Amino acid sequence: MKRNLFLILCALAPAAAAPARAQEDLAKIYSGAAASWLGGRPEEAAGAYKYVADRSTDAALTGAALKDLAVLLAEAGKNAEALPALAKAEALDPEDFFVRFEKGWNLLGLSKYKEARAAFQKALSLTADQALSSQAGFGMALAEARLSGPAQALDLLRPVYTRAPNLLSPAAQMISFYLEKTGKKQDALNFIKESIDYDPLNFQAETDLARLYEKTGVPMAAWQTYYTLYDLDPYEKRFTDKTKELLKRVKGKAEDLLYWARMNGPAHTDPVEQGSGPVVKIGLYADKAGVPAVVRSFSFMAASDFDLTDARLGLLLSGKRGAQWTIAYNAENGLYEILDNRGAVVRTTGNSLRVSVKTPGATLLIKSPELGPGAHGVNRGDKEIAGELIALAREKGFWLIDETALEPLVSPISASLADRVKLPEYLKALAVTVRTRLTWLAAASRHESRDYDLCDSAHCLPFPGLQAENEVSAETAKATRGQLLQKDGAVAPAAFHRACGGLTAAGASDAGRPAAPAAPFSVYARGVESPPAGLLCLAADKTQASDVAWTLLLRPEWIESRLNRGHKIGRLRALVPLAREADGRVKAIRAEGTSGTAVIDGPGAISELLAAGTLRSTLFSIRPVYDGKLPDFFLVRGIGTGDGQGLCLLGARGMAQKQDAGYLDILAHYFPGYTVTGVPDAGAKKDL
């Protein structure tokens, strides 16, 4: 009896242990699938998720693998393959909102509109969360438009528009689209303008706005909007042609009718303090690659008497404060002309020039720069500078270089980044970060030319001109003068971004939800869910939440056009993210077309591909929504703005505003392990 019992137990023991070992192996395979996904092998990851889902006996692991698999398949446009995975997930958990929600999108992509509507309706019944309900209502409206027409879709979209802050822009965009379908062009125009108000970087809405302005007979606004699009995407023939065509119907000087600021004279009548920091050279009117535009002419006014010096001939003339002078390139003789305030040519030269104020710290105002061809995406507004202005001779014009002490740059850049918010501790944190960033950039040799250290574009740090500062930014820059962030004894890069959306790349929490390990479904779900109410970088006015959570509906025709300039892919079928950062940010994307494929690498190239350089961040999910065999649009759901590195600007503002945090506490939160040098009450340094 005992022997028989022993034999039975021995026989049972391996069978009992086998599932545990198998389950452990499947968990490892599941983790490996996420690694494959991050490594840019989505098909390999999908195969591993399917293997786990088919073999696992753990309901939680099976469900997770099925949802990850469904997201990957839908992302690649394989809606029919995603549906069986969702059916299995639905059998495991019939009350899972996301399973029914995903089913709706897949059915919509397969043109099964009645079934899609039913799936979205079921999803609505499975959640009390207003944001998720609105997401399901949005999908249901798109299905209803196909079933019953635009009028019925509008009835479903209006409650989404009034209840879902993170869907305001796409909801207004689709309301505009359906209103236009019903012949209400003026109402459509109003809603597309609201779409852009809620998300100023909604590139697709901007293209719709240009078209609607033209259709409703507003040529001036149509030309201005098409010019904006042309400036962002100068190689798009449709933007170029429309800009030229509509300009013929616009009265007045074109450059005066655009959005560039013009000033009557310098904003600073008193000299600005120079500080004891380094002297730097800034390439002005630089493009996004950091290269200054060639300037064909500009005017200037000095806040003190000045000298104008030729690089070879020496002093050419001395001028009085407040008088306007112009320097222009003459294409007929290849010389630079210096004109007085009456427009008379007083000197000519073929050499570089330097304008030097006689009163230390007095400012110069650069007015109405005329840039040469090929200068795109450059703000041509008037710009007040400190120091000396160099007009560096170049073919058919010159570069404008500001040689200045670094300190006067801190206050206006901080004020510009703060968006007119005047919280002192916030601006102190910005001042230290900006000063450190400028110091680090000036020493980093980021430009091919040695004629300048910094540029005034996003390639380095956008410099709006001294006129951007305010009294608080000036006071806080002065209060933190000399203070720098250091890392390992050296000046730190001191990076920053506008909004992290909950968590910076280094893991600093912005009072958001705990971050789930990056996987296809977790990244996708973050874009569907609403941001947590206590998020520091979330504005109090939830209608201004697009920096934190954003959704774009991108028509494929514009993406196809950009792709086919350098790659012959034909009609676009899918955009499949490949490699991702550890937090889920897309590093590369594969474009699949009717004539071929292309791989686009790097955040800048991805932003150019999808939205002509206006994409907020690469932390997004993307899926095609088909009309037949080709996408009708790409649905892009994203989190945050920028790369997530360093200081979260809106989060820092939230710390100062909501938590009454001091600037050193703000810096300690976003730069753990850094040191602030030069803090008066802490001796030579302050450890964060």
- The domain spanning residue 100 has which CATH number? 1.25.40.10
The pLDDT value recorded for residue 373 is 86
Q: Are residues 122 and 179 in the same domain?
A: yes
How far apart are alpha carbons 350 and 348 in whole angstroms? 7
Last residue of a domain, one of 428, 458, 491: 491
Which residue, among 369, 361, 351, has the nearest Cα to 385 in the 3D structure? 361
Q: Are residues 191 and 101 in the same domain?
A: yes
Which residue, among 266, 645, 676, has the nearest Cα to 487 in the 3D structure? 676
The pLDDT value recorded for residue 687 is 65
Q: Are residues 292 and 225 in the same domain?
A: no
Residue 394 domain-assigned (yes or no): yes
Q: Are residues 468 and 453 in the same domain?
A: yes
Q: Are 476 and 428 in contact (CB under 8 A)?
A: yes
Burial class from Cβ neighbours inside 10 Å (0-12, 13-18, 19+) for residue 571 reads middle
Question: Which segments in the chain show pLDDT lower than 50?
Answer: 1-18, 20-21, 683-684
Residue 286 domain-assigned (yes or no): yes
Residue 24 domain-assigned (yes or no): no
pTM for the structure as a whole: 0.91
Residue 23 domain-assigned (yes or no): no
Residue 505 per-residue DSSP state: T
Last residue of a domain, one of 429, 462, 491: 491
Which residue, among 108, 60, 431, has the nearest Cα to 275 in the 3D structure? 431
Q: Are residues 309 and 451 in the same domain?
A: yes
Q: Are residues 536 and 579 in the same domain?
A: yes
Phi, then psi, of 459 in degrees rounded to 5: -60, -35
Find residue 580's DSSP bridge partners.
Answer: 586
The tokens of 203 are what? 């590139």
The pLDDT value recorded for residue 250 is 86
Residue 2 domain-assigned (yes or no): no
Residue 274 domain-assigned (yes or no): no
Residue 18 domain-assigned (yes or no): no
Q: Are residues 228 and 355 in the same domain?
A: no
Residue carrying the six token digits 């719709």 = 208
135 CB-near residues (< 8 Å, 6+ apart): 101, 164, 167, 528
List pLDDT tens digits, range 108-167. Answer: 999 999 999 999 999 999 999 999 999 999 999 999 999 999 999 999 999 999 988 889
Amino acid at the residue 677:
T
The tokens of 250 are what? 């616009």
The pLDDT value recorded for residue 664 is 97
Residue 234 CB neighbours (<10 A): 16
Total domains present in the chain = 3
Q: Are residues 52 and 71 in the same domain?
A: yes
The tokens of 489 are what? 């004894």
Q: What is the DSSP string of 181-203?
A: HTT-HHHHHHHHHHHHHH-TT-H
The pLDDT value recorded for residue 117 is 97
Last residue of a domain, one of 446, 471, 491: 491
Q: Are residues 75 and 214 in the same domain?
A: yes
Q: Are residues 347 and 300 in the same domain?
A: yes
How far apart are alpha carbons 20 and 16 in whole angstroms? 7
**Structural domain that includes position 482:** 279-491
Which ranges of 443-542 does DSSP label H, i.e. alpha helix?
471-479, 520-528
Residue 373 domain-assigned (yes or no): yes
The pLDDT value recorded for residue 647 is 97
Q: Are residues 427 and 548 in the same domain?
A: no
The pLDDT value recorded for residue 24 is 61
Q: Are residues 102 and 133 in the same domain?
A: yes
CA dihedral 78, 81, 86, 87 (to 10 degrees): 150
How far apart are alpha carbons 361 and 404 in whole angstroms? 9
> Three-state SS for 412?
helix
